[in-house]
């Protein structure tokens, strides 16, 4: 971040499960469409924030745009999702979100809580305008704007056992 390396430790099994569930659902729904789905290890460069980051899940419209001189760093996500951790949730909702919003192609942001059923879904509605929809019911269906697909909240949280 701004030339500094910031280490973030590995996630919990539930964090990993939620990432995989979302990426697998997106991959399945977006087959034969002009999108590429990436999870965890794909580096993203955000020039306006001078930030390299590794979103939990992101989707890029084809053709993908690579950072000049790089073969391992993308620049044009239309969708990003983060699974919230206690240590990263403020950053994911704040500074990181603001950085994502500087990307011209970026139009949809999903924040998934790993400790309770709660999904925050942001959809770009205009320049500097975003609509937030909250899902906190396992019977809810998330309707994605960019792709015109739906994913059931219950499918995301299928293997998650919440402790009280």
Higher-pLDDT residue of 8 and 161 is: 161
Mean pLDDT over each residue of the chain, to the nearest integer: 93
Confirm or reject CATH 2.60.40.10 for domain 35-156, answering yes or no: no
Q: How long is the chain?
A: 164
Helix (H) or strand (E) holding 13: helix 13-29
**Backbone CA torsion sign across 128, 131, 136, 140:** negative
> E-strand spans in 55-135?
57-61, 73-74, 77-84, 108-113, 119-126, 129-135
- pLDDT average, residue stretch 130-140: 97
Looking at the chain, the whole-number percentage of residues with pLDDT higher than 70 is 93
């Amino acid at each position: 971040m701004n030339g500094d390396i910031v280490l973030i430790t590995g996630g919990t099994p539930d964090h990993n499960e939620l990432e995989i569930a979302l990426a697998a659902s997106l991959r399945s729904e977006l087959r034969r469409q002009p999108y590429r789905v990436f999870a965890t290890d794909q580096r993203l460069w955000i020039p306006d924030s001078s930030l390299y980051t590794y979103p939990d899940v992101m989707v890029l419209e084809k053709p993908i745009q690579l950072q000049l001189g790089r073969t391992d760093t993308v620049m044009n996500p239309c969708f990003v999702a983060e699974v919230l951790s206690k240590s990263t949730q403020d950053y994911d909702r704040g500074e990181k979100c603001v950085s994502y919003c500087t990307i011209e192609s970026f139009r949809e942001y999903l924040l998934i809580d790993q400790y309770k059923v709660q999904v925050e879904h942001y959809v770009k509605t205009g320049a500097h305008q975003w609509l937030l929809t909250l899902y906190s019911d396992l019977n809810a269906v998330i309707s994605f704007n960019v792709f015109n697909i739906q994913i059931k909240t219950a499918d995301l949280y299928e293997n998650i056992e919440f402790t009280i």
